[in-house]
Structure 1
Amino acid sequence: MSRFQVRKVAVLGAGVMGAQIAAHLVNVKVPVVLFDLPAKEGPKNGIVLKAIENLKKLKPAPLGVPEDAALIGAANYEEHLALLGECDLVIEAIAERMDWKLDLYTKIAPHVAPRTILASNTSGLSITRLSAALPESIKPRFCGIHFFNPPRYMALVELIDTPTTDDRVLDELESFVTTFLGKSVVRAKDTPNFIANRVGIAGMLATIKEAETFGLSVDVVDDLTGKKLGRASSGTFRTADVVGLDTMAHVIKTLQDNLADDPFYPSYATPPVLSALIAKGALGQKVGAGFYKKVGKDILRLDPAKQDYVPGGGKADEIVARMLKKPPAERLKLLRESSNPQAQFLWAILRDAFHYAAVHLEDIADNARDVDFAMRWGFGMQQGPFELWQAAGWLQVAGWVRDDIDAGKALAKAPLPAWVFDGPVAERGGVHTPEGSWSPSRQAFVPRSELPAYQRQPFPESVLGSGAVDALKSGTELYRNDEIRVWTLDGEVLIASITAKLHLISPTVTEGLLKAVEIAEETFQGLVIWSPDDVFSAGANLEALMPVFMKSGAKGIAPEEKKLQDAMLRIRYAGVPVVAAVRGLALGGGCELALHSARRVAAMESYIGLVEVGVGLIPGAGGLTYIARRAAEMANAGNANADLLKFVTDGFTSAAMAKVGTSAIESRKLGYLVDGDVIVPHKDELLYVATQQAKALFASGYRAPVKRLFPVAGRSGIATIKGQLANMRDGGFISSHDFHISALIADVVCGGEVDAGSLVTEEYLMALERRHFCSLLEHPKSQERIMGMLQTGKPVRN
């Protein structure tokens, strides 16, 4: 790893991007000070303080928990420039005005420390031109850093150097942005709008033009260019609304102002429909109207001919939807040869994308992999343009594109580059190979970066054709059944990967987990539960238990539930540390599996919670037992007179309201993660950190917890909670069945009908859980909730 340490960061500019970059730095526990102009009235830091306060209200939330807004330092350029000397990284994120940025650089340059990296967050201005205002001593430490909006959620960060940028500086910054900020980095050349916005906005403009050509409405286009095409669900026009039509127009203007010699220059003209919307202030989602407008519960779409909004909801033709499900080669052939206008439209925008990416590759990026990653990470595509082209048959598609160019159907007359048809790319069937991805400027296939940061990613995201190893086919396999694989990468730590749909926990998964613990205790230093996607486990597999329930009712479920509870205790008291590597969803039984592990290592974007009340049940695999035990431990950690019920109530509320942590940070606040657990910013480093944690625990002489009796709140605690629930029921805030379920949760977390302070075991509480869980299975209203969820995927309120 790089020795470059970032102890504090300054962000210059408290606008939308600057404030949200500061928020993300706080999320990953990097101290940050946010600057802006001094306010003309009131406190000098008024502009910054207002921006910080607004962070608490934004959706999607830029902060892991709203109260962390207080950790952002506030400063202004008039009084606090000396603070820049304490910062190892300064990110300038003011408005996209070259003159404003140059003026600011002149002002801050004397205060930037000798080793500090200065970076401009710009979506497309020339980084080399920006460096002109800097003294020679700072130029080697200056570069571009382009975060995508919203910074917390968007993976892509583009780094852009200048002729005077020190390579070591860029390496240090890339390592920091990757490991500590959790971002996926692409290095772009210093050309207008860099890679993602250059290709992405050109693609959006082409889509608008082709939609007009084929007479398609905005809602139909969005349905065609969303998930059906393997892109972001928002499609094209809704994405423009989310980004902001004024922002989109600004990026388009950068193309217009700087690319007069581009063969695609005519296609950069601002679409009249976009100009008309901007002229009347319909700037998209932020003002409530753009290509779409929400009226009450209805979403209306723009009808350009009428210059007014009409009912939306248009969908792709079924025949076209079926074409899009075909393998790439067949899919593109069907689209190209179809007479359906929607199919012709799709072939046209894909052809335009292939054409544009190939013509501009050498100018904007080092290699084709960087273009594909930029489009995946910045625009939500499942595949970049080169990946799809290669998957569909490189030379076949290239011929089709060439024919359309020759026939005048393409956006430009520029021919495809010679390397498309002749030489290594044509011989290898595409731009991506196991040796690397094609670089026209180097005339070679370029391998991925070998920075130390990437050695922490055992299975990084890869492009099609790169020959990357499938994580679930890697290492040495020691056990497998239909729903779990038990394996090792290094012979020291065992890995259990649930392979069932949504990683739901069934008796088969339980069997596999028990086998994994057994193998780990015999030979390994620890066990890590990890899977290579965005689901840790979405809970128990209710469908798997349905045959048992239909045959024997709740009596048949009780033994299966006990097996699951016993498995959780087996994991908790295993002779080696069990580490849950949580990423994405860890709900219900998945949450309980994580809670019973010795340690949790969670990706920042992890969503953890006990959600069983949504299907009319209570947590039944030890989740409520955990709440009761943790409450006792926390009360005991305070003082002898601590109020146990207070700690119990916090856990009760989370379970009864099915609260889900909307980040790993919030999950820690809710008690699903504890202080000793680790939050990992980059999802691809999760397995590495989890295995290191298991090894560290083992090396430090890990011993399983000693089984102890612990106190519960008892019947008086139950009475207190039920009194509050009765008020909520009588006030119409919860239904009678909600009251019934919540009362059962209270009964478990308080230990049942015993005196306050009575000492109990985990097994005793699990028996209470099991009894109440099974009773709810036979309750008609719970059965309605279960069937509703299985049939529609949505909770039923009854």
Structure 2
Amino acid sequence: MKIERAGVIGGGIMGSGIAALFANQDIPVTLFDVDLDVAKASLEKLASATKLPQLTSPRRAKLITPASANDYVELLPACDAIVEVVPEVLSLKQKVFASVDAHRRTGSVVSTNTSGLSVAAMCEGRSPDFREHFLGTHYFFPVRYMPLVELIPGPETKPEVVAGYADFLRRSGKKPVIGRDTPNFIANRIGVYSMMKVMRLAEKYGLGIELVDLITGPPLGHPKTASYRLADMVGLDTLLHVTQNSYDNCPDDEVRDELEPPSLLRKLVEAGRLGQKSGAGFYKKVGKGKVLVLDPERFEYVPLSKPRAERLRVAKGYADVRERLRVVLSGGDDPVSAFARELVLATGAYALNRLGEVADDIRTIDDALRWGFGRELGPIEALDAIGLERAAAWMEDLRIPVPEPLRLAIASGGSFYRDDGRGGSAHFVPASRTYEAPPEDPRVLSLARLKATGHVVRENLNARLIDLGDGVLLCELDAKMVPSMNPVDGYILGMLERGHDLVESGRYRALVIGNEAPNFCAGANLKAVLELAKAGELDTIRAMIRKLQGLSQRGLHAPYPVVAAPHGMTLGGGLELALGAQVRVAHSELYCGLVEVGVGLVPAGGGCLRLLQLQAARRNRRGRPYGPMQNALAAFDLIGFGKVSSSAEDAAHKRLIARDDVIVAAKDELVRRAKEVALERLEGHEAIPALPVHLPGRAGYLVLEDTIEGMLRAGKITEHAARIARVQARILTGGPDANPAFPVAEEHVLSLEEEGFLELVQHPLTQERMAHMLKKGKPLFN
């Protein structure tokens, strides 16, 4: 499906987010609303958002044109795709579609963004072409960051329309699933049941709101928003509406009574306590940073009690979500375990009973709950983690009827998912009592599949080399203890060095650095650096610095292509690894920066040098380069304040990566695209020569020092922060011997990085910052 222009009807939170989705893919969008002023206001709000921005860059707003409903006749015929996003009132949607049908171009695709209204009812009375090109598209908030989109075909929707729209969404970085036209579709139907179950079980087991949120967050593989915080974020009025929709329109549900909204939820909505949108819900913010929690019995807000539970403390020590889940659920009569056990089992049973009603297979159900609610495991996958026979026995103890698909899975293989032998999984099909694996996507080069099929060349504890084929070798960052962060350590550096050796030997032609983890690399192994610093092992730290610097130089100036594929958090040493490649193929959701200041240090793996080189490549409006002082100031602003990009596009604009780096919307396609870029660079490849930089020297340092002193006198920074800033200024201005008339060699800047890092890492206040980050996960400004 080719979409060259889109139209979005309704400029509210969801409508503007969907308009941004198109704009982020370089697709012009017309944003329609009741009148032009309302549409303009929506666009202005979208373009100026700084918290969870929907646009990957404010400049994308230029692709969105505001319009009113009066402009349908002129502007709708140009739209290849039209998305209706008006309030969830069936009669209003039907009225909008009557007007759209009268003005749309034949063959254009029309969709409704609804969280659960009947798709069939919406297209009643519309033209045959409209009905054939109509479907439901349920996006999740916030649109840019939540991957799930539920596609709901109407009774006459052409299969190629559904397939084409799904393909467009995948290329845009979304994760589509195809559901059935039933109340609340897949994710909300099961998610709402789970939320109502949480509230009822909290009362049954006598657990408070805070403790329930502790249990139903990461210990169960759910986000930190857990249950009550998630309800406040969604909006309690929205939750009540969706819950009521399930209760009213699912008369044959086997547990319909459990879908009825609890009295406490109704009471909160009636009182206007709608969650974050009204300032109070299950939690209430009062003043700066202070939060109160609802006491349900008194219906008043009280200070947080910050409860603890031993079972959750033990579970926190397990990185693997399946092990964590088993620990939480296996606590016998402990109220925390009993609550969690009944919640997980009841939700799993409910999900299995929806098979064939809301979706065709168990994988679609699990995918919808993982992608729609940010969970590590779907509700059926969770039963596999427990063990099916154990899950069935526990269900019987709790008088939860054991679903027939569960009995069949126990009899047929003992699990709902099994290894397909090629790095993926096959899911159980109850009707045939067989296992089916999804078809391979030719656009995806799966590292898991390559590893399972004998393509690993070498590996150690935290990294491995994988043969991507066609003479391209990949160095995968895969830290076993912290796989979500992949901190740089000796294992990773050693494997990267070995990768370069293999390419230089002629066994391979190009090198890619990447992985399939949640994040590329969140920085250096801070714990190891702190332990070495406290032990006075400065020579060991120096050796680590020189190793990282040497690999950065080796990658940038290699006589063969070196490509990095950063994504997610790419911070500190992680960004230095990526900048040590000649080009980057970055996922659009790239949050990168040199953030060492937060732990009292400076970048020392080539990061300062690379940022200076990237700033030197900038040009003003007349096409002329900026001067040494301007480049040093720009780098100082990025490093000194630890700025992090909000997207890959933002990173390129800030020059945290290069302007001509490749940006990919679909994360699954990142490795394949990085391989392609490496192969494209083979023909006529020449090593990049050394790139000396002009730096302002002592005069520039004095300018920065004056700024630092001014901030110190004004109380904006501490004395230690000023100390760090002075070291940073010395590096970025080239030291006292630098002369802006003569370029400084790369090696000189690298030596200044090393000197500055070693000076600061010994300081007790820097060590305090490092220890605080390791313990609390946030910076200390001492």
**Does the TM-score normalized on the shorter chain lie above 0.5?**
yes
Identify the residue that residue 632 of structure 2 maps to in structure 1. Answer: 648
Which residue matches 1:41? none
The percentage of counterpart residues that share the same residue type is 33
1:527 aligns with 2:521: no
Q: Deviations over 1:76-118 (max 9, x none)?
A: 1113542222222111111111111111011111322233211
Residue 226 of structure 2 is matched in structure 1 by 235
Deviation per residue, 1:147-188 (Å, 9 max, x gap): 1111111111111112211111111111110112x1111110
Alignment of 1:471-490 (within 5 A): 475-490=454-469
CA distance change for structure 1 residues 417 and 687 in 2, over 3 Å: closer, same or farther? same
Structure 2 equivalent of residue 219 of structure 1: 210
Q: CA deviation at 1:438?
A: 3.8
Return the TM-score normalized by structure 1: 0.90
**Corresponding letter in the other structure for 1:12:** I
Q: 2:417 aligns with which of 413, 424, 432?
A: 432
Aligned partner of 1:11 in structure 2 is 8
Cα 1:126–1:438 change in 2 (3 A) is: farther
Q: Is the 8 A contact 1:628 1:750 kept in 2?
A: no
Q: 1:144 to 1:734 in 2, by over 3 A?
A: same
| Counterpart pick for 2:238 among 244, 247, 258 | 247
Contact map agreement 2:594 2:603 (CA 8 A) in 1: yes
Aligned-residue offset at 1:439: 4.5
> 1:670 & 1:585 partners in 2: Cα distance?
16
Q: Indicate if the aligned counterparts of 1:610 and 1:654 stay in contact, CA closer than 8 A.
A: yes
Match of 2:657 among 653, 656, 673: 673
Between 61-70 and 234-243, the greater mean CA deviation after superposition:
61-70
Q: Secondary structure at the match of 1:426?
A: helix
User: 681, 691, 704: which one pairs with 2:687?
Assistant: 704
**Residue 464 of structure 1: aligned partner:** none
Q: Structure 2 counterpart of 1:28, which letter?
A: Q
| Equivalent AA in structure 2 for residue 263 of structure 1 | E
Change (3 A) 1:115 1:714: farther
Q: Is the Cα contact below 8 Å between 1:121 and 1:146 reproduced in 2?
A: yes
- Residue 379 of structure 2 is aligned with which of 382, 385, 409? 385
Q: What's the counterpart of residue 466 of structure 1?
A: none
Residue in structure 2 matched with residue 311 of structure 1 by the alignment: 303
Is the aligned partner of 1:143 residue 2:148? Answer: no
CA distance in 1, matches of 2:71, 2:525: 59
- TM-score (norm: length of structure 2): 0.92
Are residues 1:397 and 2:397 paired? no
CA contact (8 A) 1:729 1:739 kept: yes
Q: 2:407 aligns with which of 415, 421, 435?
A: 421
Q: CA 1:331–1:726 in 2, change beyond 3 Å: closer, same or farther?
A: closer
Q: Which amino acid aligns with 2:502?
A: I
Q: Is 1:20 matched with 2:17?
A: yes
Q: Please list the CA deviations of residues 27-46 of structure 1 after superposition, one character each: whole Å capped at 9, or x if unmatched.
A: 333322211111xxxxxx11
Distance (whole Å) between structure 1 residues aligned to residue 166 and residue 325 of structure 2: 38
Cα RMSD of the aligned pairs, angstroms, is 2.7
* SS of alignment partner, residue 766 of structure 1: helix
- Secondary structure of the equivalent of 2:339? helix
8 Å contact kept, 1:14–1:51 = yes
Question: What one-letter code is carried by the residue in structure 1 that aligns with 2:745?
Answer: T
**Corresponding pairs, count:** 767
**Aligned to 1:761, which of 745, 748, 754?**
745
Aligned-partner SS, 2:492 = helix
C-alpha change, 1:361 and 1:782, in structure 2 (3 Å) is: same
Q: Aligned-pair distance for 1:216? A: 1.9
After superposition, the C-alpha distances for 1:349-402 in whole angstroms (9 at most, x for unaligned) are 223212212222111110011111111111222211211212323244234424
* Code of the aligned partner of 1:36: D
Residue 352 of structure 1: aligned partner: 346
Separation in 2, partners of 1:720, 1:8: 50
CA distance in 2, matches of 1:654, 1:8: 36
Distance 1:552 1:223 in 2: 39
**Do structure 1's residue 68 and structure 2's residue 52 form an aligned pair?**
no
* Offset of residue 554 of structure 1: 4.1
Contact between 2:561 and 2:681, CA under 8 Å: does it hold in 1?
yes
Output the CA distance in 1 between the equivalents of 2:11 and 2:612.
Answer: 44
Per the TM alignment, residue 470 of structure 1 is displaced from its structure 2 partner at its CA by: 6.4
**Distance change (3 Å), C-alpha of 1:449 and 1:83:** farther
| Cα distance in 1 for residues equivalent to 2:770 and 2:311 | 34
| Residue from 701, 705, 710 that aligns with 1:727 | 710
* 2:157 alignment partner in structure 1: 165
Q: Could you give the per-residue CA deviations for residues 561-614 of structure 1, whole angstroms, max 9, x where no partner exists?
A: 233212211111112111111122211111111112111111222211011112
Q: Deviations over 1:436-463 (max 9, x none)?
A: 434456776444255xxx3222339xxx
Q: Report the Cα distance in structure 2 between the residues aligned to 1:459 and 1:656, rounded to whole angstroms.
A: 38
> Aligned pair 1:612/2:596, yes or no?
yes
Unmatched 5+ stretches in structure 1: 39-44, 461-468
Q: Kindly provide the amino acid, as one letter, of the partner of residue 39 in structure 2.
A: V
Aligned-partner SS, 2:575: helix
Q: Separation in 1 of the partners of 2:328 and 2:523?
A: 40
After superposition, where does 1:573-584 map in structure 2 within 5 Å? 573-584=557-568
1:493-540: CA deviation from partner (whole Å, max 9, x where unpaired)? 100012334322233432321221121232323111112212222222
Task: Give 1:487's aligned amino acid.
Answer: I
Distance in 2 of aligned mates of 1:430 and 1:558: 51
CA displacement 1:267-307 (0-9 Å, x = unmatched) = 22121101100001000111110111122343222122112
More divergent stretch after superposition (702-711 vs 605-614):
702-711
Any conservation in 1 of the 2:566–2:584 contact (CA below 8 Å)? yes
Which has the larger displacement, 144-153 or 295-304? 295-304
Compared CA separation, residues 331 and 671, structure 1 to 2 (3 A): closer
2 CA distance for matches of 1:403 and 1:613?
54
Distance across 2 between alignment mates of 1:629 and 1:358: 56
What letter matches 1:562 in structure 2? R
Instruction: Look up the equivalent residue of 2:413 and give its one-letter code.
Output: R
1:54 aligns with 2:45: yes
The one-letter code sitting in structure 2 at the alignment partner of 1:300 is L
Q: Is the 8 A contact 2:450 2:466 kept in 1?
A: no
Write the letter of the residue equivalent to 2:560: V
C-alpha spacing 1:732/1:324, structure 2 compared with 1 (3 Å):
closer
1:275 aligned partner: 266
Match of residue 438, structure 2, among 409, 431, 448: 448
Mean alpha-carbon deviation: is it higher for 76-85 or for 103-112?
76-85
Residue 783 (structure 1) shift: 3.4
Partner of 2:472: 493
What secondary structure does 2:617 align onto? helix
SS of aligned partner of 2:126:
coil
Report the equivalent of 2:444.
457
Which of residues 282, 288, 291 in structure 1 aligns to 2:282? 291
Contact 2:478 2:517 in 1 (8 A): no
Deviates more, 1:595-604 or 1:71-80: 71-80
Deviates more, 1:200-209 or 1:701-710: 701-710
Q: Of 713, 737, 741, which aligns to 2:724?
A: 741
Q: Does the aligned pair in 2 maintain the 1:368–1:432 contact within 8 Å?
A: no
Q: Which residue of 1 aligns with 2:497?
A: 514
| Structure 2 residue identity aligned to 1:782 | T
Q: Per-residue CA shift, 1:677-697, capped at 9, x if unaligned? A: 122222222111111111111
Structure 1 residue matching 2:360: 3-state secondary structure: coil
Q: Secondary structure at the match of 2:86?
A: coil
SS at match of 2:305: coil
Counterparts of 2:579 and 2:500 in 1: how far apart (Å)?
Answer: 16
CA contact (8 A) 2:472 2:512 kept: yes
Secondary structure at 2:632 match in 1:
helix
Q: 1:260 to 1:325 in 2, by over 3 A?
A: farther
Unaligned runs of 5+ in 2: none
Partner of 1:626: 610
Deviation for aligned residue 1:220: 1.5
Q: 1:719 to 1:540 in 2, by over 3 A?
A: same
Task: Please say which of residues 297-306 and 9-18 is displaced more in the overlay.
Answer: 297-306
Q: Aligned partners of 2:163 and 2:21: how far apart in 1?
A: 21
Question: Which stretch of structure 1 is more off in the superposition, 635-644 or 238-247?
Answer: 635-644
Matched letter for residue 609 of structure 1: G
